[in-house]
Amino acid sequence: MSETRAASGPLCLPLDLCRALAYDLPRSRGMDAALRCIDGVRRRTLGDGLLTVNIDATPGRRDDDTIELQRVWSSDPEAYPVGGRKRKTMTPWTRQLLRGGELFVGEGDAALREVFDDHERIASLGLRAVANVPLLDADGRCRATFNLLVGRPAWQAHELALVQLLAVLATPWVLRGEGH
């Protein structure tokens, strides 16, 4: 993360959204309801975009050069349906996010084109920046990803902090619901 993004600043959530995360989220019945709650907060704070969650469909093959991801949740199931799969080969993105368990931030059309095979579909939806957050298991391994794409070409530091916070809140729901 750049020095500019690392600068501290306020991250303020309206009281009703704090209540949704503190009261409604823990009472959600299953992963889908929990992710709908989290997505509602995301929409109110960050605006339009696409939120998807993918699990590593090949968790036992940690030394393999190919990883298969399966989408288990989507805020736009028409464009990105649940159940969709994609194969990822070993690239800097794969090493950083899926193997290294580190946040990936892609800003602008060129960055998306470099990383994603479906960059044309992403662009057709008006999306121009991505934050991929690894969802880590108790051993620190990436077992899933929380993926948020937005229409603006760059992220603000407080937005990335919020995306990471929402991803952490989603983690237990996603990891418990992995078998979908």
Predicted confidence (pLDDT) per residue in 16-70, tens digit = 999 999 999 999 999 999 999 999 999 999 999 999 999 998 866 656 678 999 9
Q: Where do runs of H (alpha helix) occur along 20-129?
A: 31-46, 92-93, 109-115, 119-124
Q: What is the pLDDT of residue 174?
A: 97
Residue 90 clears pLDDT 80, i.e. is over it: yes
Tokens of 167: 């991803």
Q: Is residue 89 part of a domain?
A: yes
Q: Is residue 52 part of a domain?
A: yes
If pLDDT is split at 50, 70 and 90, which confidence band does 1 have? very low
Give the pTM.
0.90
CA-CA distance, 38 to 133, in Å (whole number)? 14
Q: Is residue 160 part of a domain?
A: yes
Q: Is residue 1 part of a domain?
A: no
Residue 179 clears pLDDT 70, i.e. is over it: no
State how far the alpha carbon of 166 is from the alpha carbons of 17, 72, 128, 132, 145, in Å: 12, 16, 20, 12, 12
Q: Is residue 3 part of a domain?
A: no
Residue 78 clears pLDDT 90, i.e. is over it: yes
Q: Mapping DSSP to helix (H, G, I), strand (E, B) and coil, where does residue 125 land? A: coil
Q: Are 159 and 133 in contact (CB under 8 A)?
A: no
Q: Is residue 63 part of a domain?
A: yes
CA-CA distance, 32 to 56, in Å (whole number)? 18
Residue % of the chain over a pLDDT of 90: 80
168 secondary structure, DSSP code: H
Report the pLDDT averaged over residues 164-180. Answer: 86
Q: Are 123 and 109 in contact (CB under 8 A)?
A: yes
Q: Are 74 and 86 in contact (CB under 8 A)?
A: no
Q: Is residue 70 part of a domain?
A: yes
Domain that holds residue 80: 13-176
| pLDDT digit string, tens, across residues 137-165 | 999 999 999 999 999 999 999 999 999 99
Residues β-bridged to residue 74: 52
Q: What is the pLDDT of residue 4?
A: 41
Q: Is residue 32 part of a domain?
A: yes
Q: What is the pLDDT of residue 14?
A: 87
CATH code: domain of residue 36: 3.30.450.40
Q: What's the domain count of the chain?
A: 1
Q: Are 46 and 163 in contact (CB under 8 A)?
A: yes
Amino acid letter, residue 48: D
